[in-house]
Amino acid sequence: MKLRRLTGSSTVKEAMTYLQKRHPLYFVPTTMNKEQVTDLLNRLIYRLKQKEELQASAKKENEEVKPIFKAGNALPAVEDSEPE
């Protein structure tokens, strides 16, 4: 079973409803335990949240590292003589 639209902000109820509509035969009372599926969905959503937070922090760090160049007279002067 695939949960293509599952994100870190998804809820267990939304995901369970999606699965029940897509795969109704699995949710016959004797086939699959709903508590196990709910637990699995909770863990999947938790991991997706962690992954999204890591990606957001990595993206934020990459944006902060980019140097800002000033144009015009704001640049420091370069001496022609060699340092002593």
The 10s digit of each residue's pLDDT in 7-54 is: 888 899 999 999 889 988 888 877 778 888 899 999 999 999 999 998
Is 70 part of any domain?
Answer: no
Is 41 part of any domain?
Answer: yes
Is 2 part of any domain?
Answer: no
Residues 49, 8: Cα–Cα separation, whole Å: 4
* Sequence-separated (6 or more) residues with CB below 8 Å from residue 26: 1, 19, 32
Select the more confidently predicted residue: 11 or 2.
11
Is 6 part of any domain?
Answer: no
Residue-level pLDDT at 78? 56
Would the pTM of this model clear 0.85, i.e. be above it?
no
Is 79 part of any domain?
Answer: no
- CA angle, residues 49, 55, 57, in degrees to nearest 5: 100
Number of domains in the chain: 1
Q: How does DSSP classify residue 26?
A: G
The radius of gyration of the chain from alpha carbons, rounded to an integer in Å, stands at 26
Residue-level pLDDT at 57? 84
Residue-number span of the structural domain to which 46 is assigned: 12-64
Residue-level pLDDT at 47? 92
